[in-house]
Structure 1
Amino acid sequence: MSNVSLPPRTAAVIPAAGRGLRLGPGAPKALRTLNGTPMLVHAVRAMAASNAVSLVVVVAPPDDTPAVRTLLTDLALPDRTDVVVVPGGANRQESVRLGLEALPGDVSIVLVHDAARPLVPVDTVDAVIDAVRDGARAVVPALPLADTVKEVEPREGAEKGEPEPVVATPERARLRAVQTPQGFDRETLVRAHAATGGSDGDGATDCAGLVERLGGPVVVVPGHEEAFKVTRPLDLVLAEAVLARRRANDGF
């Protein structure tokens, strides 16, 4: 019998139940197309590109779950990677929790990836996984900020152009723009979600924020400029340009 231990099994959870209203009317954001292919398909392929990922759990809009299952049934992926589709919840945190509940017991590393970040390179995915394997409980890829950031006092009417007073200018060198996939020791992530009591995470906008609220350590690894989030129509244009460059350079 071999004494060589196998690396811990890694799965990716992709919450894709959001409507993405800022992209305008139409299909759910994850099902909007880039180069004729839904963003969700690009995101699943991005996770499956890592040799470490053996399972991808897609958390779909409840009304569109059958259609998403059909979409992903015949998707060409490496033999090592399985895809499971489950219906999502009322908010992102609930959808991630439902994705966690669908994981088999032998998964010990969990990635949580935004379907709206369809172009994350595999090197970034692997860097997150490697950091968890090396002992980190929670890992986020992130980039330094190019712009100066101002903290303001929110005011009603700001969306209509009403001015808001500045209260502070954080030191830019200490700030990072966080991306996904975020990686976790499974037990840590499960405890973080259980601590929310089914709420929206008390204002936390990502899973790493839930770990922080428990007092758990979170570390950062370098992100990538192509792992941007497709949120507005201009982001779709940029994503199409990235895909065109990949096709020209790499035959992607």
Structure 2
Amino acid sequence: MSDESRPHRTAAVIPAAGRGVRLGPGAPKALRTLGGTPMLIHAVRAMARSRAVSLVVVVAPPDGNAVAEVRRLLDEHALPERTEILVVPGGETRQESVRAGLDALPADITAVLIHDAARPLVPVDTVDSVVEAVRDGALAVVPALPLADTVKEVEPGPPGEPEPVVATPVRARLRAVQTPQGFDLATLRLAHEKVAVDGEGATDDAGMVEQLGVTVVAVPGHEEAFKVTRPLDLVLAEAVLARRRATDAY
């Protein structure tokens, strides 16, 4: 079967192996509850609501019985039956976990979404926009929002100490990038094979693809696709979820 005649099948990979220390001690970030339901479940549902996504791969922590525990958690919550869900063990870094998710994809997948478990409330329209852009020929797509604040580039110094400003980027050219980020699967796999990242590894898959010289395009993001990183973010997420439930939008 030629590439032109191959069916376009899209999967989503959700790396959920991190502990989320900025939310404080306790359960890993992805298992913190939002409206009484773990954020991971919200994130899986967000991907599964898109009819373009036929498979969701959840990447669990690599230790102990984490895969079985995550599988049991998924089985305890209602999820769209049309969407296949796999759970695989991750690695020590986000980059390693994403690679583990990619390695688990079947041969008929042609496009992949990489989605943060800590962005539990991304609307389905945003997911669909990313998938559509990839299907239209973009090799890498990110949802993004214009910045409301002026941004300063500084010379980093010790925590709490004044830092000299070295540049002020033009705000109109800046975007805050969200997830899911969408990719032609072969292109993202090549980036993970070719781009070496030291230390904690890559936190942005689109940035790895950029290093291949591939153009990354941005589509409109959504203000409700914010990342739950700090306790105040969790308060805001609870408010958004309560509003959705009150208006039957969830």
Contact 2:48 2:54 in 1 (8 A): yes
| 1:67 alignment counterpart | 69
Residue 89 of structure 1 is aligned with which of 88, 91, 111? 91
- 1:123 is displaced (CA, Å) by 0.1
Looking at structure 2, the residues matched to 113 and 62 of structure 1 have their Cα atoms a distance apart, in angstroms, of 18
What SS does the corresponding residue of 2:46 show, helix, strand or coil?
Answer: helix
| 1:76 alignment counterpart | 78
| 1:212 alignment counterpart | 210
Percent of paired sites with the same residue: 77
Looking at structure 1, the residues matched to 200 and 91 of structure 2 have their Cα atoms a distance apart, in angstroms, of 17
| 1:136-175 alignment runs, 5 A limit | 136-156=138-158, 158=159, 161-175=160-174
What SS does the corresponding residue of 1:242 show, helix, strand or coil?
Answer: helix
Contact 2:95 2:201 in 1 (8 A): no
Quick check: 1:180 aligned with 2:179?
yes
**What letter is aligned with 1:152?**
V
What SS does the corresponding residue of 2:57 show, helix, strand or coil?
Answer: strand
Q: 1:187/1:222 Cα in 2 relative to 1: closer, same or farther (>3 Å)?
A: same
Q: 1:169/1:204 Cα in 2 relative to 1: closer, same or farther (>3 Å)?
A: farther
Contact 1:201 1:210 in 2 (8 A): no
**What letter is aligned with 1:225?**
E
Count of residues in correspondence between the two structures: 244
- 1:200 is displaced (CA, Å) by 4.5
**What letter is aligned with 2:108?**
D
Contact 1:108 1:186 in 2 (8 A): yes
Quick check: 1:55 aligned with 2:60?
no
Residue 226 of structure 2 is aligned with which of 208, 212, 228? 228
Looking at structure 1, the residues matched to 233 and 125 of structure 2 have their Cα atoms a distance apart, in angstroms, of 22
- 1:66 is displaced (CA, Å) by 1.8
| 1:105 alignment counterpart | 107
Deviations 1:181-231 (A, max 9, x none): 00000000000000135x458974300000001111100000000000000
Contact 1:91 1:200 in 2 (8 A): no
| 1:11 alignment counterpart | 11
| 2:239 alignment counterpart | 241
Contact 2:151 2:171 in 1 (8 A): yes
- 1:60 is displaced (CA, Å) by 0.8
- 1:6 is displaced (CA, Å) by 7.3
Deviates more, 1:59-68 or 1:45-54: 59-68
What SS does the corresponding residue of 1:131 show, helix, strand or coil?
Answer: helix
- 1:249 is displaced (CA, Å) by 1.1
What SS does the corresponding residue of 1:170 show, helix, strand or coil?
Answer: coil
TM value normalised by structure 2? 0.94
Deviates more, 1:56-65 or 1:166-175: 56-65
Contact 1:196 1:202 in 2 (8 A): no
- 1:35 is displaced (CA, Å) by 0.7
What SS does the corresponding residue of 2:111 show, helix, strand or coil?
Answer: strand
Residue 131 of structure 1 is aligned with which of 130, 133, 139? 133
RMSD: 1.5
Deviations 1:91-114 (A, max 9, x none): 011100000000000000100000
**What letter is aligned with 2:145?**
L
What SS does the corresponding residue of 2:235 show, helix, strand or coil?
Answer: helix
What SS does the corresponding residue of 1:17 show, helix, strand or coil?
Answer: coil
- 1:136 is displaced (CA, Å) by 0.1
Q: 1:168/1:44 Cα in 2 relative to 1: closer, same or farther (>3 Å)?
A: same
TM value normalised by structure 1? 0.93
Looking at structure 2, the residues matched to 179 and 8 of structure 1 have their Cα atoms a distance apart, in angstroms, of 23
